[in-house]
Amino acid sequence: MDEILCSGEIPKIIGFLRSRELGLRVAALECVLELGYIGRREVVEAMVKLGVVEILMDLQREGCSECDCDLAFGNCVSRFAIQVEVGEGLSAEEKREVKSEILRIVKEVSESEAEFATVSAEILWGSSP
């Protein structure tokens, strides 16, 4: 984890979320979710500062244009928030702070009150099938 942070790989990983290649975007999402789970505060904060929440909101909104389903990016914002919340890298207080920051960003970038309500409900209480 420290090596990823110190070697400047986090911006590259976040950048791959915007790739034209579906497989690369999906792999980057899986990496971001894993980093959210095991990452220390510095790692999670770096991802948030680099716009990971905004990018995930875009991916969630756009879905998967290359396939007939939204499984790859559906609920990816709440999945990221949940990974951080259940993860091993942050203290309980840090988890609350990050979750609050994620909710603040979601409110800021939501295109409507309905979108904000849906995504924030997923983050706070989980998504329904």
For 63-119, write each residue's pLDDT tens digit: 755 665 556 788 999 999 999 999 998 999 999 999 999 999 999 999 999 999 999
Whether pLDDT at 45 is above 80: yes
CATH number, domain of 25, equals: 1.25.10.10
Per the structure, the count of domains in the chain is 1
For 2-41, write each residue's pLDDT tens digit: 677 778 899 999 999 999 999 999 999 999 999 999 988 9
List the domain range (segments joined by +) for residue 76.
2-125
Residue 2 CA neighbour count, 13 Å, CB half? 0
Q: Which two tokens stand for residue 92?
A: 């309980």
Q: Which two tokens stand for residue 81?
A: 């928030």
Q: Is 90 helix (H, G, I), strand (E, B) or coil?
A: coil
**SS3 annotation, 6-75:** HCCHHHHHHHHCCCCCHHHHHHHHHHHHHHHHHCCHHHHHHHHHCCHHHHHHHHHHHCCCCCCCCCCCCC
Residue 59 CA neighbour count, 13 Å, CB half? 28
